[in-house]
Structure 1
């Protein structure tokens, strides 16, 4: 297992985004990895993405865990999984937000709110995945804060959306997204998918999120039914000791269930 630490914060629109650098360091330390890679971030996101791509190309054949930093660090890990698994790949996006804006529709102009759309083929120059992920092979999980343009894209492009903490509904949505293939899943987790009353160390909190035990149950259900191609954990802005105390065992458990038995390498 390889952990790829990317302390990128310039893709975030949060006023406290610089905390993401320390958050990436702390997250990486929570992952029981065999190999550890620190990606030095640049001021521009395109250069940092290139460095992440290079780091992933050198990683071993096991599970990789990308830790951010902002959600924009997921561009290259998901793109690498798409190249490896082709149309078998289904992306499960645990997040409070859809991250489906374009530069034209984004209220903030921040890339962390565009990265999933960039993975489907539309985004800022130099930050678009190729080949793209088919939007019909994307499942939003726990998303509760969509901008109007994002909601329109979800409806028109066939993106699946499971709002409730329902493992059966989520795994059925993944199976449907996979169609006739044997799906392999990339699991993205923005920690603002958690309820801010329980976990507040994020830059863009949104009410009515999942409890930690619900998140773990959902990811466990996914990993028990499908192979996991990769795991990303992002957007930790450390601000409260109690949040770090909660996060450490949660991250370890999420990594353990995603590592599973290596089915994604089939």
Structure 2
């Protein structure tokens, strides 16, 4: 109910201003439901959606409990009926290219999706150049491109401001993490896309700055700055 309220609030603000382009700074991936649905409706489905993410985010409630992993399914008209109702013009599978996808691939084969064909550019496909992404866009010639950029598509060894990079479990997570992309690789891909196509939407999600969180915790408990009797840390969401 909280997430639906937030999505509807965002939708109301967007409809009030009717922008031609939208930038979204998350939050988790679910924050893109309203703005991306708006852009696809505004441009009559003549869009391409680059899902730049280590994960496909097409899970359904029966398989995964947390909405951040459902949002692309919702944008395609699949999943919880209340979230799907917030998408007036669902994206078609042929509008979507996964970029950097390399984890939770089994979600692409759930029952609602099993007959859909999805295009994927893996971390290996984009490591040397952006040709696979550009060729895919050139074959579709959309009037607008929408980019979802989940920061977890970046290599955990290079970029650590992610929830899974908890310092207490970091070494374990690095050892288990699948291959991801470098910062420079993703920058190059998105620059190349923007040079050749009209980007109307950009969402950047899943930022969690552990150093800032730990600094805040420390300052709140130091003499002159905080409470020297404070023992507890600020809470954070650790539900995946």
**Would you say how many aligned residue pairs link Structure 1 and Structure 2?**
194
Between the aligned partners of 2:92 and 2:15, the Cα distance in structure 1 is 23
Larger radius of gyration: 2
**Which of 210, 215, 222 lines up with 2:181 in the alignment?**
210
The offset of 1:62, in angstroms, is 4.5
Superposition pairs of residues 79-98 of structure 1, within 5 angstroms: 79-98=37-56
**Which of 228, 245, 248 lines up with 2:199 in the alignment?**
228
The corresponding residue for 2:159 is: 199
TM-score normalised according to structure 2 size: 0.75
| Long gaps (5+) in structure 1 | 1-42, 242-266
> 1:174-193 CA distances to partner (integer Å, 9 max, x unpaired)?
233x3xx5441100100001
| Long gaps (5+) in structure 2 | 166-176, 213-240
> 1:92-148 CA distances to partner (integer Å, 9 max, x unpaired)?
001110001111222xx1111110011000122321122110011100000100242
Q: 1:154 to 1:209 in 2, by over 3 A?
A: farther
Contact kept in structure 2, 1:196 and 1:207, CA below 8 Å:
no
The corresponding residue for 1:168 is: 131
Give me the CA root mean square deviation: 2.0
The offset of 1:64, in angstroms, is 1.9
Superposition pairs of residues 177-188 of structure 1, within 5 angstroms: 178=140, 181-188=141-148
The corresponding residue for 1:126 is: 82
Contact kept in structure 2, 1:175 and 1:183, CA below 8 Å:
no
Between the aligned partners of 1:119 and 1:85, the Cα distance in structure 2 is 15
**3-state SS of the aligned residue for 1:116?**
helix
TM-score normalised according to structure 1 size: 0.68
